[in-house]
Amino acid sequence: MYDLCIVSVSPEETNSPSDVEVVLYSDGACAGNPGPGGWAFILHHLPSGKVLEVSGAVPLTTNNQMELQAAIEGLEHLKRPTNVRLVTDSTYLKKGITEWIHNWKRRGWKRKTSNGLKPVKNVEQWMELDELVQKHKVFFELVRGHSGHPENERCDELAVQAYKDLQATDTDGQGLTNTD
């Protein structure tokens, strides 16, 4: 099962799958919530067939932060404005950037709760992701996690391995990044 959504630089622009130049698969993982976590992405440049896998980890984080970081890191690797299909298993990421963010920004990065307005969680990452999405035309695809989607499964494997590697080697508390 998947859901599709388009985020464009301007409302009159649309981005169909045939326009896509790069497919960005992203995932985050966390051992405990909070706990040590990892993020990973796979960039697949369709015209050339080139594939890049990158992962990283931080010592204390949440799963949602790692989902956001994976998308941010992947979009940061693009060298110019690009038509991107971003494939994620995170409803939080997809709904946040395609639905919730408009009201958050209108309210000064606050979210509505039963007790009034509260600061948006992970606001620095949401702001960074918002800025990156404005540079590209991003077509979001939501896939079910752990359902056999090969690239999603690979991203999960990379993210988990990243935090396991961090736990085994991180002595300064700064985290690590792996590029294959």
- Are 83 and 139 a contacting pair, CB within 8 Å? yes
Identity of the residue numbered 62: T
Query: And the tokens for 112?
Result: 């509505």
Look up tokens 């067939």; give the residue: 49
Separation CA 109–CA 120 (nearest Å): 6
Q: Given the structure tokens 């405990």, which residue do they identify? A: 32
Cα–Cα distance, 27 to 70 (Å, whole number): 6
| pLDDT, position 178 | 63
Which pLDDT does position 68 carry in this prediction? 98
Q: Which of 65, 66, 62, 64 is nearest to 38 (CA)?
A: 66
pLDDT of residue 74: 98
Give the DSSP H or E segment for 94: helix 91-95
Distances (CA, A) of 95 to 4, 91, 102, 105, 116: 11, 6, 11, 14, 21
Q: Give the SS3 label for residue 13.
A: coil
Of residues 83, 62, 102, the one with CA closest to residue 140: 83
Q: Indicate the number of domains in the chain.
A: 1
Range of the structural domain that residue 148 is part of: 2-179
- What is the pLDDT at residue 1? 33
For the chain, the distance separating the N- and C-terminal CA atoms, rounded to the nearest angstrom, is: 30
The CATH number of whichever domain residue 19 belongs to comes to 3.30.420.10
pLDDT at 59: 96
pLDDT of the residue at 180: 55
Q: What is the pLDDT of residue 2?
A: 34
**Catalytically annotated residues:** 27-28, 67, 89, 146, 156
pLDDT tens for the chain, 180 residues long, are 334 444 443 333 444 556 899 999 999 999 999 999 999 999 999 999 999 999 999 999 999 999 999 999 999 999 999 999 999 999 999 999 999 999 999 999 999 999 999 999 999 999 999 999 999 999 999 999 888 899 999 999 999 999 999 999 856 556 556 655
- φ/ψ of 113, rounded to 5, equals -130, 175
Nearest Cα residue to 175 out of 54, 37, 75, 40:
37
Q: Give the pair of three-digit tokens for residue 27.
A: 């995932």
